[in-house]
Amino acid sequence: KYLFFPGCQLGASDPGYVMNTYRYLIERMKDGVGLYLGCCGAPADWSGRVDVLEKSIRAFRENWKQQGNPEIILACPTCHKMFAKHLSDVPVKSLWDIFNEQGLPDGYVRGNGAEIALYDPCSSRYLPGVQKSVRELLAKMGYIVEELRMNRRYAQCCSYGGLISTVNPKLAKAIRDQRVSASAKDYVTYCPNCRDDFAGNGKPTWHLLDIIFGVGSTSGPLKTPPTRSQRLENRREVKARMLETYWGEGMK
């Protein structure tokens, strides 16, 4: 009935994000949860590669139909935006809604009244329901959320979107410096690009899944982001380990 689509960056940032989430989903969700590892096409869209984007969309649609048109579980706000634009007939559900509906896993990092600043990813400005779910989860886990001045419908880009750093590193740094100066408190976000972008430049930043699964409770905010090569290896690791663990297959 369901197909988990983590997007291309979640597993690239940390294989545990995908593996822990999928294990949770198959334990909590009835009627079966499949897994689709791939890209929604956003980087191709950003770079004007319409041919690559269309190929990505076609591949997803063909696989989706082969699986019986399941409801797609999305963890990435950029994927949400791309699905709304290019795959509007495909039913989608937010991972954060599922955590609220099915309950948090044991072992999450309890806030006990700690204050954190919530950084809404830029793509989430189109997703008020997702933003609401994230805030509800943080409240349930015992965190007090500081709202940044530019949040919700005014959420700003961390400097990753549009591949800015590739073509104009100086501009990307200026954007990033401005974003991390919005609060002195540690950040939490629900986009792996935002987390890696900020943490890699000295701003303590959690991904929400770090807190939910209690992973790296001490090192999480400053966990060193992977290099481009490491991101590729992380994607390979996710695919190989998932195939072996759940389907008993070796990766070719």
Mean pLDDT of 62-82: 95
99 falls in which pLDDT band (50, 70, 90)? very high
Token pair of 54, please? 């269309």
| Six-digit token string for 228 | 């481009």
Q: Are 225 and 13 in contact (CB under 8 A)?
A: yes
pLDDT confidence of residue 166: 84
Q: Is 0.85 topped by the overall pTM?
A: yes
Band of pLDDT at residue 219, cut at 50, 70 and 90: low
Structure tokens at 170: 């100086």
- Distance (Å, rounded) from C-alpha 211 to C-alpha 232? 24
Please give the average per-residue pLDDT across 43-59, as a whole number.
Answer: 93
Distance separating alpha carbons of residues 240 and 238, to the nearest angstrom: 6
Q: Is-contact 32 2, C-beta < 8 A?
A: yes
Q: What is the pLDDT of residue 42?
A: 92
How many residues in the chain?
Answer: 252
pLDDT value of position 89: 95
Please name the residue ranges forming H helices in 103-207.
128-140, 164-167, 169-180, 192-199
According to DSSP, residue 170 is labeled: H
Task: Give the span between the Cα atoms of 206 and 81, in whole angstroms.
Answer: 22
Q: What are 152-194's pLDDT values in tens digits?
A: 999 999 988 887 888 899 999 999 999 999 999 999 999 999 9
